Structure 1
Amino acid sequence: MTQTAPLDLIDRKIVAVLMTDATTPIAQIADKVGLSQTPCWKRIQKLEATGVLTRRVALADPAKLGFGLTVFVGVQAPDHGTEWRLAFARAIDALPQVMEAWRMAGDIDYLLRVVVPDMAAYDRFYTALTDAVAIKTVTAQFAMERLRHTTAYPVNTRDR
Protein backbone atom coordinates (compact mmCIF):
# COMPACT_ATOMS: atom_id res chain seq x y z
CA MET A 1 0.00 0.00 0.00
CA THR A 2 1.46 3.35 -0.99
CA GLN A 3 1.33 6.28 1.34
CA THR A 4 0.96 9.83 0.12
CA ALA A 5 1.55 13.06 1.94
CA PRO A 6 -1.45 13.98 4.09
CA LEU A 7 -3.89 16.28 2.38
CA ASP A 8 -4.40 19.73 3.80
CA LEU A 9 -7.85 20.99 4.75
CA ILE A 10 -8.50 22.67 1.40
CA ASP A 11 -7.56 19.56 -0.58
CA ARG A 12 -9.81 17.43 1.65
CA LYS A 13 -12.69 19.86 1.08
CA ILE A 14 -12.13 19.77 -2.69
CA VAL A 15 -12.12 15.97 -2.67
CA ALA A 16 -15.29 15.89 -0.56
CA VAL A 17 -17.12 18.20 -2.98
CA LEU A 18 -16.04 16.21 -6.03
CA MET A 19 -16.97 12.87 -4.43
CA THR A 20 -20.46 14.24 -3.82
CA ASP A 21 -20.86 15.68 -7.33
CA ALA A 22 -18.02 15.63 -9.85
CA THR A 23 -19.99 18.00 -12.12
CA THR A 24 -19.78 20.85 -9.62
CA PRO A 25 -18.41 23.89 -11.49
CA ILE A 26 -14.95 25.08 -10.50
CA ALA A 27 -16.39 28.43 -9.40
CA GLN A 28 -18.67 26.69 -6.87
CA ILE A 29 -15.90 24.41 -5.61
CA ALA A 30 -13.57 27.37 -5.21
CA ASP A 31 -16.25 29.28 -3.30
CA LYS A 32 -16.93 26.31 -1.00
CA VAL A 33 -13.25 25.83 -0.14
CA GLY A 34 -12.26 29.50 0.07
CA LEU A 35 -10.05 29.81 -3.01
CA SER A 36 -10.21 31.63 -6.30
CA GLN A 37 -10.83 29.54 -9.40
CA THR A 38 -7.28 29.23 -10.74
CA PRO A 39 -5.66 27.94 -7.53
CA CYS A 40 -8.63 25.62 -7.03
CA TRP A 41 -8.25 24.20 -10.55
CA LYS A 42 -4.51 23.74 -10.02
CA ARG A 43 -5.19 21.80 -6.82
CA ILE A 44 -7.69 19.56 -8.63
CA GLN A 45 -5.11 18.90 -11.35
CA LYS A 46 -2.52 18.03 -8.68
CA LEU A 47 -4.99 15.71 -6.92
CA GLU A 48 -5.52 13.94 -10.25
CA ALA A 49 -1.80 13.81 -11.07
CA THR A 50 -0.93 12.31 -7.68
CA GLY A 51 -3.68 9.70 -7.95
CA VAL A 52 -5.84 10.99 -5.10
CA LEU A 53 -8.62 11.55 -7.64
CA THR A 54 -8.62 8.54 -9.93
CA ARG A 55 -11.68 9.12 -12.15
CA ARG A 56 -14.78 11.22 -12.57
CA VAL A 57 -17.82 9.14 -13.40
CA ALA A 58 -21.60 9.23 -13.54
CA LEU A 59 -23.42 6.88 -11.17
CA ALA A 60 -26.47 5.06 -12.49
CA ASP A 61 -29.39 3.24 -10.92
CA PRO A 62 -28.76 -0.46 -11.68
CA ALA A 63 -32.46 -1.38 -11.60
CA LYS A 64 -33.30 1.29 -14.19
CA LEU A 65 -30.60 -0.20 -16.43
CA GLY A 66 -32.08 -3.67 -16.09
CA PHE A 67 -29.75 -5.02 -13.40
CA GLY A 68 -32.28 -5.86 -10.72
CA LEU A 69 -30.27 -8.54 -8.92
CA THR A 70 -27.08 -7.93 -6.96
CA VAL A 71 -25.16 -11.00 -5.86
CA PHE A 72 -22.17 -11.18 -3.53
CA VAL A 73 -20.17 -14.16 -4.70
CA GLY A 74 -17.60 -15.79 -2.46
CA VAL A 75 -14.87 -17.82 -4.15
CA GLN A 76 -12.44 -20.28 -2.59
CA ALA A 77 -9.39 -20.94 -4.72
CA PRO A 78 -8.22 -24.52 -5.30
CA ASP A 79 -4.66 -23.23 -4.87
CA HIS A 80 -2.93 -19.90 -4.36
CA GLY A 81 -0.29 -20.09 -7.06
CA THR A 82 0.52 -17.35 -9.51
CA GLU A 83 -0.87 -19.27 -12.47
CA TRP A 84 -4.30 -19.71 -10.88
CA ARG A 85 -4.43 -16.09 -9.67
CA LEU A 86 -3.67 -14.81 -13.17
CA ALA A 87 -6.26 -17.13 -14.72
CA PHE A 88 -8.85 -15.98 -12.19
CA ALA A 89 -8.06 -12.33 -12.88
CA ARG A 90 -8.48 -12.94 -16.62
CA ALA A 91 -11.76 -14.77 -16.02
CA ILE A 92 -13.34 -11.99 -13.97
CA ASP A 93 -12.01 -9.32 -16.36
CA ALA A 94 -13.91 -11.09 -19.15
CA LEU A 95 -17.18 -11.04 -17.17
CA PRO A 96 -18.68 -7.52 -17.24
CA GLN A 97 -21.23 -8.49 -14.57
CA VAL A 98 -18.42 -8.30 -11.99
CA MET A 99 -18.60 -4.78 -10.62
CA GLU A 100 -16.04 -5.29 -7.85
CA ALA A 101 -13.57 -8.00 -6.96
CA TRP A 102 -11.71 -8.20 -3.67
CA ARG A 103 -9.01 -10.61 -2.47
CA MET A 104 -9.95 -11.43 1.09
CA ALA A 105 -8.55 -12.81 4.32
CA GLY A 106 -10.71 -15.35 6.12
CA ASP A 107 -13.05 -18.11 4.98
CA ILE A 108 -13.26 -17.00 1.36
CA ASP A 109 -10.40 -16.01 -0.90
CA TYR A 110 -12.26 -13.60 -3.19
CA LEU A 111 -15.46 -11.61 -2.90
CA LEU A 112 -17.21 -10.41 -6.04
CA ARG A 113 -20.08 -7.97 -6.37
CA VAL A 114 -22.02 -9.09 -9.41
CA VAL A 115 -25.03 -7.43 -11.04
CA VAL A 116 -27.40 -9.30 -13.34
CA PRO A 117 -30.98 -8.86 -14.54
CA ASP A 118 -32.36 -11.99 -12.85
CA MET A 119 -31.65 -15.48 -11.50
CA ALA A 120 -31.33 -17.01 -14.97
CA ALA A 121 -28.66 -14.44 -15.82
CA TYR A 122 -26.85 -15.26 -12.57
CA ASP A 123 -26.90 -18.94 -13.54
CA ARG A 124 -25.30 -18.05 -16.88
CA PHE A 125 -22.70 -15.96 -15.05
CA TYR A 126 -21.98 -18.83 -12.65
CA THR A 127 -21.54 -21.24 -15.54
CA ALA A 128 -19.22 -18.86 -17.40
CA LEU A 129 -17.10 -18.27 -14.30
CA THR A 130 -16.75 -21.92 -13.37
CA ASP A 131 -16.06 -22.90 -17.00
CA ALA A 132 -13.32 -20.27 -17.25
CA VAL A 133 -11.26 -21.23 -14.20
CA ALA A 134 -11.10 -24.05 -11.63
CA ILE A 135 -12.74 -23.02 -8.36
CA LYS A 136 -12.87 -24.97 -5.09
CA THR A 137 -16.19 -23.52 -3.92
CA VAL A 138 -18.56 -20.74 -4.88
CA THR A 139 -21.10 -19.25 -2.50
CA ALA A 140 -23.69 -16.64 -3.37
CA GLN A 141 -25.57 -14.17 -1.22
CA PHE A 142 -28.46 -12.44 -2.97
CA ALA A 143 -29.14 -8.85 -1.98
CA MET A 144 -32.77 -8.14 -1.19
CA GLU A 145 -32.53 -4.41 -0.60
CA ARG A 146 -29.78 -1.80 -0.76
CA LEU A 147 -30.08 0.19 2.47
CA ARG A 148 -27.12 2.48 1.91
CA HIS A 149 -24.79 3.17 -0.97
CA THR A 150 -22.13 5.80 -1.37
CA THR A 151 -18.96 6.23 -3.30
CA ALA A 152 -17.79 9.13 -1.14
CA TYR A 153 -15.22 8.34 1.53
CA PRO A 154 -15.74 10.06 4.90
CA VAL A 155 -13.00 12.64 4.37
CA ASN A 156 -12.40 14.92 7.35
CA THR A 157 -13.28 18.44 6.18
CA ARG A 158 -12.54 20.11 9.50
CA ASP A 159 -9.28 21.38 10.93
CA ARG A 160 -7.63 18.54 12.77
Structure 2
Amino acid sequence: MKSLDATDRAILALLQEDADIPMAKLAEAVNLSPTPCWRRVQRLKEDGVITRQVALLDPAKLNLGVTVFVSVRTNQHSQAWFDRFHAAVTQIPEVVEFYRMSGEMDYLLRVVVPSIAAYDAVYKRLIAGSDLFDVSSSFAMEEIKLTTALPLDYAL
Protein backbone atom coordinates (compact mmCIF):
# COMPACT_ATOMS: atom_id res chain seq x y z
CA MET A 1 0.00 0.00 0.00
CA LYS A 2 1.22 3.46 -0.91
CA SER A 3 1.42 5.90 2.01
CA LEU A 4 -1.32 8.49 2.30
CA ASP A 5 -0.55 12.07 1.33
CA ALA A 6 -2.44 15.24 2.26
CA THR A 7 -4.78 14.88 -0.72
CA ASP A 8 -5.68 11.30 0.24
CA ARG A 9 -6.39 12.45 3.79
CA ALA A 10 -8.58 15.29 2.48
CA ILE A 11 -10.50 12.86 0.27
CA LEU A 12 -11.01 10.49 3.20
CA ALA A 13 -12.15 13.29 5.50
CA LEU A 14 -14.76 14.43 2.98
CA LEU A 15 -15.95 10.89 2.26
CA GLN A 16 -16.31 10.20 5.99
CA GLU A 17 -18.63 13.20 6.21
CA ASP A 18 -20.63 12.33 3.08
CA ALA A 19 -19.92 9.18 1.07
CA ASP A 20 -22.48 10.33 -1.52
CA ILE A 21 -20.56 13.49 -2.42
CA PRO A 22 -20.47 13.78 -6.22
CA MET A 23 -17.03 13.06 -7.67
CA ALA A 24 -16.86 16.48 -9.33
CA LYS A 25 -17.51 18.21 -6.00
CA LEU A 26 -15.02 15.97 -4.19
CA ALA A 27 -12.38 16.64 -6.85
CA GLU A 28 -12.95 20.38 -6.65
CA ALA A 29 -12.69 20.35 -2.85
CA VAL A 30 -9.27 18.64 -2.98
CA ASN A 31 -8.01 20.63 -6.00
CA LEU A 32 -7.98 17.75 -8.48
CA SER A 33 -9.79 17.11 -11.71
CA PRO A 34 -12.46 14.39 -11.49
CA THR A 35 -10.50 11.56 -13.19
CA PRO A 36 -7.39 11.70 -10.95
CA CYS A 37 -9.66 12.07 -7.91
CA TRP A 38 -11.68 9.01 -8.99
CA ARG A 39 -8.41 7.06 -9.44
CA ARG A 40 -7.33 7.99 -5.90
CA VAL A 41 -10.68 6.87 -4.48
CA GLN A 42 -10.39 3.59 -6.40
CA ARG A 43 -6.82 3.07 -5.08
CA LEU A 44 -8.01 3.74 -1.52
CA LYS A 45 -10.67 1.07 -2.03
CA GLU A 46 -8.25 -1.42 -3.60
CA ASP A 47 -5.75 -0.84 -0.76
CA GLY A 48 -8.48 -1.56 1.80
CA VAL A 49 -8.39 1.93 3.32
CA ILE A 50 -12.01 2.41 2.27
CA THR A 51 -13.64 -0.86 3.25
CA ARG A 52 -17.25 -0.06 2.37
CA GLN A 53 -19.77 2.74 2.04
CA VAL A 54 -22.96 2.58 4.06
CA ALA A 55 -26.03 4.61 4.97
CA LEU A 56 -26.15 5.77 8.59
CA LEU A 57 -29.65 5.51 10.02
CA ASP A 58 -31.33 7.44 12.84
CA PRO A 59 -31.99 4.88 15.60
CA ALA A 60 -34.77 6.96 17.16
CA LYS A 61 -36.69 7.03 13.87
CA LEU A 62 -36.40 3.24 13.76
CA ASN A 63 -37.70 2.84 17.33
CA LEU A 64 -34.23 1.90 18.64
CA GLY A 65 -33.84 4.55 21.32
CA VAL A 66 -32.21 2.38 23.99
CA THR A 67 -28.47 1.66 23.85
CA VAL A 68 -27.09 -0.99 26.19
CA PHE A 69 -23.43 -1.76 26.85
CA VAL A 70 -23.07 -5.37 27.91
CA SER A 71 -19.95 -6.56 29.70
CA VAL A 72 -19.37 -10.31 29.56
CA ARG A 73 -16.97 -12.34 31.67
CA THR A 74 -16.34 -16.01 31.17
CA ASN A 75 -14.20 -18.67 32.75
CA GLN A 76 -14.04 -20.49 29.41
CA HIS A 77 -11.19 -19.49 27.13
CA SER A 78 -11.06 -22.32 24.60
CA GLN A 79 -11.39 -21.76 20.88
CA ALA A 80 -14.41 -24.06 20.79
CA TRP A 81 -16.21 -21.98 23.44
CA PHE A 82 -15.36 -18.75 21.62
CA ASP A 83 -16.59 -20.16 18.30
CA ARG A 84 -19.96 -21.04 19.89
CA PHE A 85 -20.23 -17.65 21.63
CA HIS A 86 -19.23 -15.77 18.47
CA ALA A 87 -21.83 -17.68 16.45
CA ALA A 88 -24.52 -16.90 19.04
CA VAL A 89 -23.68 -13.19 19.22
CA THR A 90 -23.51 -12.71 15.45
CA GLN A 91 -27.02 -14.18 15.15
CA ILE A 92 -28.45 -11.37 17.31
CA PRO A 93 -29.07 -8.34 15.05
CA GLU A 94 -29.53 -6.02 18.03
CA VAL A 95 -25.84 -6.50 18.86
CA VAL A 96 -24.23 -3.85 16.66
CA GLU A 97 -20.70 -3.99 18.11
CA PHE A 98 -18.76 -6.88 19.66
CA TYR A 99 -15.24 -6.61 21.12
CA ARG A 100 -12.80 -8.88 22.93
CA MET A 101 -11.35 -6.82 25.76
CA SER A 102 -8.35 -6.68 28.06
CA GLY A 103 -8.79 -6.05 31.77
CA GLU A 104 -11.68 -7.07 34.01
CA MET A 105 -14.18 -7.98 31.31
CA ASP A 106 -13.64 -10.44 28.48
CA TYR A 107 -16.13 -9.07 25.93
CA LEU A 108 -18.05 -5.85 25.40
CA LEU A 109 -21.18 -5.60 23.28
CA ARG A 110 -23.21 -2.61 22.20
CA VAL A 111 -26.87 -3.45 21.80
CA VAL A 112 -29.63 -1.23 20.38
CA VAL A 113 -33.26 -1.98 21.23
CA PRO A 114 -36.58 -0.15 21.57
CA SER A 115 -37.06 -0.88 25.29
CA ILE A 116 -35.76 -2.59 28.40
CA ALA A 117 -38.21 -5.42 27.76
CA ALA A 118 -36.72 -5.87 24.28
CA TYR A 119 -33.24 -5.93 25.84
CA ASP A 120 -34.41 -8.64 28.24
CA ALA A 121 -35.31 -10.80 25.23
CA VAL A 122 -31.85 -10.14 23.75
CA TYR A 123 -30.26 -11.00 27.10
CA LYS A 124 -32.11 -14.31 27.22
CA ARG A 125 -30.91 -15.17 23.70
CA LEU A 126 -27.37 -14.16 24.63
CA ILE A 127 -27.15 -16.39 27.69
CA ALA A 128 -28.98 -19.36 26.13
CA GLY A 129 -26.40 -22.00 25.41
CA SER A 130 -23.46 -19.79 26.43
CA ASP A 131 -21.51 -20.70 29.53
CA LEU A 132 -21.00 -17.18 30.88
CA PHE A 133 -19.54 -16.33 34.28
CA ASP A 134 -20.98 -12.80 34.53
CA VAL A 135 -23.08 -10.50 32.36
CA SER A 136 -23.45 -6.86 33.34
CA SER A 137 -25.61 -4.37 31.46
CA SER A 138 -25.35 -0.58 31.48
CA PHE A 139 -28.00 1.57 29.82
CA ALA A 140 -26.85 4.75 28.10
CA MET A 141 -28.69 7.74 29.55
CA GLU A 142 -27.58 10.25 26.90
CA GLU A 143 -25.57 10.08 23.70
CA ILE A 144 -22.91 12.78 24.02
CA LYS A 145 -20.73 11.97 21.02
CA LEU A 146 -21.18 9.42 18.26
CA THR A 147 -19.14 9.47 15.09
CA THR A 148 -18.07 6.98 12.51
CA ALA A 149 -15.28 9.31 11.29
CA LEU A 150 -11.79 8.07 12.15
CA PRO A 151 -8.99 10.52 12.98
CA LEU A 152 -6.69 10.82 9.99
CA ASP A 153 -3.66 12.51 11.62
CA TYR A 154 -2.08 9.11 12.32
CA ALA A 155 -2.36 7.73 8.78
CA LEU A 156 0.93 6.68 7.27
TM-score class normalised by the smaller sequence:
over 0.9
Gaps of 5+ in 1: none
d(CA) in 2 for partners of 1:71 and 1:6?
A: 38
Q: Does 1:62 align with 2:41?
A: no
TM-score, length-normalised on structure 2?
0.95
TM-score, length-normalised on structure 1?
0.92
| Number of the residue aligned with 2:25 | 28
Q: CA deviation at 1:77?
A: 1.8
| Number of the residue aligned with 1:150 | 147
1:37-68 alpha-carbon deviations (Å, 9 max, x no partner) = 00110111111111100111111111110111
Q: CA deviation at 1:88?
A: 1.0
Alignment coverage as a number of residue pairs: 154
| Number of the residue aligned with 2:88 | 91
Q: Give the root-mean-square deviation of aligned CA atoms.
A: 1.3
Q: CA deviation at 1:154?
A: 1.9
d(CA) in 1 for partners of 2:133 and 2:30?
A: 51
Change (3 A) 1:28 1:34: same
Q: CA deviation at 1:34?
A: 1.2
| Number of the residue aligned with 1:7 | 4
d(CA) in 2 for partners of 1:5 and 1:111?
A: 34
SS in 2 for 1:106: coil
d(CA) in 1 for partners of 2:118 and 2:73?
A: 22
| Number of the residue aligned with 1:129 | 126
Runs of 4+ with >6 A deviation: none
Partner amino acid for 1:68?
A: G
Contact 2:76–2:131 under 8 Å retained in 1: no
**What percent of counterpart residues are identical?**
48
1:73-84 counterparts in 2 under 5 A? 73-84=70-81
Partner amino acid for 1:23?
A: D
Q: CA deviation at 1:107?
A: 0.5
